[in-house]
Chain A
């Protein structure tokens, strides 16, 4: 990801969690507006009736993170849990060259699966950038987008992941992101 530029100098990363109902985003964005601030980036998802939002917010004047959190989770927005930290952009890949791959794993659900796959990846210095775990028919499907450092040989890595999958009763595939882009999107590659 290229380094992110915010509109104002004082930037914060903010996480909001709540049970899902209308008006959460309105309350949160209204609070940022009242402070004269800007939402520089946001990603939101709802899972099992629970709402979660992560944002990068910037303000013209510095504010204590705790004070900013209190501002957002004020009386207008009951039930919101808000966590704020100063935003310092760091590249998780540490500036090294990476290629994006997708790990998919299909199998019967059981405890510890994500833990085992993610340990295997973490042990090899591979960062997970996006993760989903959903039901597809009778199976559970894990889809992890991962950044693989260029120095790692993907052949043995794929074999390791497939072996781990077999041991757990999961079918695992490691595919380059370009294959999905080429076969589904209008352009050949990103």
Chain B
């Protein structure tokens, strides 16, 4: 029997607070598309994607209508392209990217992730091909997303790969200079990359994953900040414990909605259900902001002292609520702070209250990392590598996934504003302080060894 107050609070969440499912991502292993020639390889890849994914959008839309809950993004993730490229040349790498782009468009999915290489301990010729082709791939395709894993807890940090990727980021920015370096928004550099992440640009199908799986990203931060505001309006002697409890309840509810829709989509498509990623993923839309949640919790300027504690509490409460709601939690599962994609964070970066260093501190206690941050286009590759290395160190030492998505905007200086459009939002170029002062460290190269797992202080 449903209770009236339960019905009313769910209706409030669905309609007044615009609860949605952020993404349904179909993960597909495409290793069996490998072939000796470029043409048969691309044909097999196209056929496999079309045969498995052509109904994804239609099914998501129909189930979304049935439950009155829209599925905002429908996406594809594949096994690392480096597996397919092995033994081929750069022409094939680009042809694969274009095949993915066309197949994704034919299936009407927003993005396809998995143009990826895992190089935490060393770079194979295939990995080098994938990374080398990124400037052309990310400038000449619309939907293809790339990721490079340069560090893990067990391998440490491959600093040669970090520098190679940093140089590649500069080249991607130049190749997409007419779009303010937008190509870089489609590449994430990872430590401890999750095998089942449904969120872009870092989605891919990792080792140990099934042939195909439906992975879900739940609704955004809007529902959480609305719930907190409502709780505050009700008054009483509220403490942070009460706020954490409210976040936990909302996380439970949004996770349940994600799993409900995901399981039904999976069943319709005859594909196993994979995981629910609990991450609160903001959009540039007003109100759909992690920064807004921190403001509601009493951090008037994001980046002010207290910001790290507030986001730590938020992330932990989300995990607690979500973990109770579902036994299939995976992916990144934290709180995202992509600066350009979150209106309040973007504003804090523009006003100067939020700096790169404070963002880095915040990423130590939430997922995912230094995300969608625009920096001056002339930032040296070594400095970009040093920023990546810092973020990777947080991931490796704390045994968590961290990512870096930096956009060195060609020709732009600190304080300039750039528009990426749509979900990618707009960003003010942030200052990289002490640029160049760590370059010698980066140039030493080699590998930062895997960390000790005892002596945990």
Contact = CB atoms under 8 A, between A and B. Distances in A.
A175 interface: yes
A132 B331 CA distance: 42
Nearest to A183: B253
A166 B256 CA distance: 30
B2 A173 contact: no
A175 B9 CA distance: 13
B4 interface: yes
Interface stretch (B64-72, B132-140, B187-195, B285-293): B64-72
Contact of B7 (A104, A154, A158, A176): A104
Given A136-B8, A173-B15, A179 B69 contact: yes
Contact of A183 (B66, B68, B256, B326): B256
A104 B13 CA distance: 14
Nearest to A177: B2
Interface in A125-168: 132, 134, 136, 141, 143, 145, 154-155, 158
A120 B257 CA distance: 29
A50 interface: no
B10 interface: yes
A4 B318 CA distance: 43
A179 B10 contact: yes
Contact of B4 (A134, A154, A183, A189): A134
A160 B410 CA distance: 53
B419 to A, nearest CB: 36
Contacts of B256: 182-183, 188
Contacts, number: 68
Contacts of A180: 2, 6-7, 10
Interface string B56-92: 0000000001111100000000000000000000000
Interface in B145-195: none
A184 B10 contact: yes
Interface residues of B, number: 25
Contact of A184 (B6, B65, B66): B6
A187 to B, nearest CB: 10
A59 B253 CA distance: 46
B14 interface: yes
B11 interface: yes
A179 B68 contact: yes
A46 to B, nearest CB: 15
A135 to B, nearest CB: 11
Contact of A189 (B3, B15, B65, B260): B260
25 contacts: A102-B7, A104-B7, A132-B4, A134-B4, A154-B65, A155-B65, A173-B11, A173-B14, A175-B14, A175-B67, A176-B66, A177-B2, A179-B67, A179-B68, A179-B69, A179-B257, A180-B2, A180-B7, A182-B256, A183-B252, A184-B3, A184-B253, A188-B256, A188-B326, A189-B260
- What are the 5 closest A-B residue pairs judged by CB atoms, nearest first? A182-B256, A184-B6, A183-B253, A182-B260, A183-B10
Interface of A: 102, 104, 132, 134, 136, 141, 143, 145, 154-155, 158, 173-184, 188-189
